[in-house]
């Protein structure tokens, strides 16, 4: 029986976010230690769920010390990062031996003490596990992969969907590759490639008509070549000011020469996709012109406030798009969410049915997204808990923190205590709003929302209303990234 250590630490870090990420921030999504992780996640559409299934199929003896995932945000606090490393490495430090160590990582994690957190963790794991153990990692598609990560691992691959709906599927694929080595297949070698660029393939969107599906087809062709096991395309995370920023390719190969040739070919294809990568987006005024065309009975128009998207590590408290919606006088509309715990407290004290004056949002980056002064009616107070209906994170319980729903004119506004990227219809349903009956929906997201909201929408529009996850990258103050780099330089 093969012994496998499985652990997860999943965090995408926006280094322009000035608020440190702590363990309670993980707990709004999940932080499970030991057997609790297996009990809660085993039947979910997550990597942990997939690896638990595979362990049963292959007869592995599985040890699971930690499964933790947080919404993207600022660098992780040093003390909590130390605790993560202690939990994951404790079994090996105690002398336990494993045939494989599998880590579920994001690939774009920064802490207060490390600009390459996953590289540091993988290097420590490799040193403790020794040269004979397999070290494997699954990654998010938006991973900034470092040389240290590659040198410490035998196998590494990322998601192939954006919105990310294939977490469990990719875990099952990775498990099969690990089992192949257990069964006597040649030990593979990772080959890495990168060109200086900050984004590619329109941020990796995998909808029809986007460049990413064609790139994935090329990866499929390459995987059929002799000596190639797996080809993985990471789009990178452009709001992380680190040396390893940007799109990159990982090829797992038994023939290193063939792997290098394949990695360079795929990286060149990613480079060429920059011509199809959108950098300019609709402003709020353009969005309102489209919204005002809506009529009662229409399917919803979904406006994605992506520059302040918490899934991009932004503060999630910008009222700029909401301000435009109010000024346009939209009816039968809703907005989710404005992160503002102080305003939630005001609503709680006033109670449902009361009228409150709020200085809403705009606290994280007031120079970009100033607060909104409104008077509104409190409709609903709730605990902010919901279980994702899917397809993303199906079956996983999330928390918005304590929430209040207020109404101003024809718009219902969900105010959360925790920055919340809106990926699931149950964000609205959990507070008594039926999103399918709305004429206009404003929400904090970039692409993940499309998996759930696309089927109910008459149209979707990405809106750049300002924030620290804007694609106007030249307006952000980078200091560590390599230069020259596209699109900042010619």
CA distance 174 to 166: 12
C-beta atoms surrounding 24 within 10 Å:
12
CA distance 65 to 35: 8
Confidence band (pLDDT; 50, 70, 90) for 259? very high
CA distance 352 to 36: 36
> Going by DSSP bridges, is the β-strand pair 134-139/411-416 parallel, antiparallel, or unpaired?
unpaired
Three-state SS at 396: coil
Question: In this structure, are residues 440 and 409 in contact, taking their beta carbons and an 8 Å threshold?
Answer: no
* DSSP result, 426-478: HHHHTTT--GGG-SEEEES-SSTTHHHHGGG-SEEEEE----TT-S-GGGS--
Tokens 């080959």 locate to 191
Q: Is the pLDDT of residue 296 over 90?
A: no
Q: What is the pLDDT of residues 149-194, one digit of tens each?
A: 999 999 999 999 999 999 999 999 999 999 999 999 999 999 999 9
CA distance 254 to 154: 11
To the nearest whole number, what is the mean pLDDT of the chain? 97
Question: In this structure, are residues 330 and 442 in contact, taking their beta carbons and an 8 Å threshold?
Answer: no
Token output for 430: 């959990």
Question: Which of 328, 343, 336, 449 is CA-nearest to residue 388?
Answer: 449
Q: What is the pLDDT of residues 358-376, one digit of tens each?
A: 999 999 999 999 999 999 9
Question: In this structure, are residues 110 and 18 in contact, taking their beta carbons and an 8 Å threshold?
Answer: no
CA distance 237 to 259: 24
Q: Using the Cα atoms of residue 425, residue 429, residue 435 and residue 440 in order, give the sign of their dihedral.
A: negative
Q: Chain centroid to CA 78: how far?
A: 21
State residue 129's pLDDT score: 97
Q: Is the pLDDT of residue 490 over 90?
A: no
Three-state SS at 129: helix
Return the CA Rg of the chain.
22
Average pLDDT, integer, range 273-299: 95
List, in sequence order, the alpha helices (H) in 273-391: 284-291, 320-327, 341-350
Tokens 């592995």 locate to 60
- Residue 364 φ/ψ, nearest 5 degrees: -70, -50
Q: What is the pLDDT of residues 302-354, one digit of tens each?
A: 999 999 999 999 999 999 999 999 999 999 999 999 999 999 999 999 999 99
Token output for 299: 């399917």
Q: What is the pLDDT of residues 78-107, one digit of tens each?
A: 999 999 999 999 999 999 999 999 999 999
Question: In this structure, are residues 77 and 26 in contact, taking their beta carbons and an 8 Å threshold?
Answer: no
- DSSP symbol at 193: E
Question: In this structure, are residues 107 and 70 in contact, taking their beta carbons and an 8 Å threshold?
Answer: no
CA distance 399 to 165: 20
In the chain, where the domains are located: 3-276, 284-470
């Amino acid at each position: 029986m093969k012994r496998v250590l499985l652990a997860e630490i999943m965090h995408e870090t926006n280094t322009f976010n000035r608020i440190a990420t702590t363990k309670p921030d993980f707990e709004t999504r999940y932080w499970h230690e030991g057997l609790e992780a297996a009990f809660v996640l085993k039947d979910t559409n997550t990597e942990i769920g997939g690896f638990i299934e595979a362990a049963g199929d292959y007869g592995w003896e599985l040890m699971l010390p930690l499964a933790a995932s947080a919404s993207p945000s600022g660098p992780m606090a040093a003390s909590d990062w130390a605790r993560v490393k202690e939990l994951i490495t404790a079994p090996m430090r105690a002398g336990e031996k494993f045939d494989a160590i599998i880590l579920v990582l994001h690939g774009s994690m920064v802490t207060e003490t490390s600009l390459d957190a996953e590289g540091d963790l993988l290097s420590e794991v490799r040193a403790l596990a020794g040269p004979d153990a397999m070290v494997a990692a699954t990654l998010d598609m938006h991973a900034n992969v470092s040389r240290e990560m590659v040198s410490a691992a035998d196998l590494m691959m990322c998601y192939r969907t954006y919105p990310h709906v294939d977490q469990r599927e990719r875990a099952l694929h990775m498990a099969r590759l690990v089992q192949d080595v257990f069964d006597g297949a040649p030990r593979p070698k990772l080959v890495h490639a990168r060109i200086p660029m900050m984004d590619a393939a329109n941020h990796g969107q995998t909808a029809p008509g986007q460049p990413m599906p064609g790139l994935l087809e090329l990866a499929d062709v390459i995987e059929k070549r002799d000596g190639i096991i797996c080809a993985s395309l990471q789009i990178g995370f452009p709001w992380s000011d680190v040396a390893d920023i940007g799109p990159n390719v990982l090829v797992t190969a038994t023939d290193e020469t063939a792997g290098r040739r394949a990695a360079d070919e795929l990286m060149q294809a990613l480079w060429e996709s920059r011509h199809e990568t959108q950098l300019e987006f609709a402003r709020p005024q353009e969005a309102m012109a489209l919204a005002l065309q809506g009529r009662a009975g229409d399917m919803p128009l979904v406006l994605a406030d992506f520059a302040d998207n918490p899934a991009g590590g932004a503060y999630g408290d910008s009222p700029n798009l909401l301000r435009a919606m109010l000024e346009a006088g939209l009816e039968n509309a809703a907005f989710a969410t404005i992160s503002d715990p102080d305003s939630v407290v005001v609503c709680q004290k006033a109670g449902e049915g009361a009228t409150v004056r709020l200085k809403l949002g705009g606290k994280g980056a007031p120079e970009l997204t100033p607060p909104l002064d409104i008077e509104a009616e409190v409709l609903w107070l709730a605990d902010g808990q919901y279980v994702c209906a899917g397809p993303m994170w199906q079956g996983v319980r999330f928390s918005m923190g304590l929430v209040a729903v207020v109404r101003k004119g024809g718009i219902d506004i969900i105010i959360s205590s925790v920055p919340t990227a809106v990926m699931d219809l149950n964000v609205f349903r959990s507070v008594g709003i039926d999103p399918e009956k709305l004429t206009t929906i404003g929400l904090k997201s970039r692409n993940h929302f499309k998996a759930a909201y696309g089927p109910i929408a008459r149209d979707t529009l990405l809106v750049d209303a300002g924030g620290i996850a804007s694609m106007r990258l030249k307006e952000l103050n980078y200091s560590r990234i390599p230069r020259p780099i596209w699109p900042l330089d010619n």
